[in-house]
Amino acid sequence: MTKSKIETKNQQYWRDYFTTGVVPPEAPDYIKKASNIIEYANLSEEEKNVSAILEKARADYDAGFSSAYHDGLEKGKEEGLDISTKIINELLKQTPVDEIAIMFDVSVQMVIHLQSLIKVENIRS
């Protein structure tokens, strides 16, 4: 039995990486990860220290951004509920939809949607 001369696509990615040092974007993730590990191993100590500092800074930034994002979502939910309650109260007072939209700086469609929810709830009651 003789060995086939056919090269798989993954073998081509490895060959290309080892001959050119470049991993194509369509290569499997495990090949990309392996190339990153090899590149990191070839860094000098100073380059590794700089890389560690950058990674820590990126992680700190991401953590701060994530926290601010979630705080903003929570505050937005609270404010949204507050505005929705005020809009519903105006609808119950029979205030015209377009006036409510202007009053609370929301779209007419949003006010109409809340109005339809009130009607559905009244039908259920």
Q: What is the pTM of this model?
A: 0.41
- Rounded to the nearest 10°, the torsion over CA 91, 95, 101, 105 is -90
Residue 120 lies in a domain: yes
Q: Look at the chain and report how many structural domains it folds into.
A: 1
Domain of residue 82 covers 43-124
pLDDT at position 4, please? 62
Residue 68 lies in a domain: yes
Digit-coded pLDDT (tens) for 53-84: 988 888 887 777 777 767 776 777 777 677 88
Residue 26 lies in a domain: no
Mean pLDDT score, 26-35: 92
Residue 88 lies in a domain: yes
The set of residues, in sequence order, having a beta carbon less than 8 Å from that of 108 and lying 6+ positions away, is 97, 98, 101
> Is there a contact between 105 and 83 (Cβ–Cβ < 8 Å)?
no
Digit-coded pLDDT (tens) for 5-22: 778 888 999 998 889 989
Burial group, residue 26, by CB count within 10 angstroms (0-12, 13-18, 19+): exposed
Residue 38 lies in a domain: no
Residue 36 lies in a domain: no
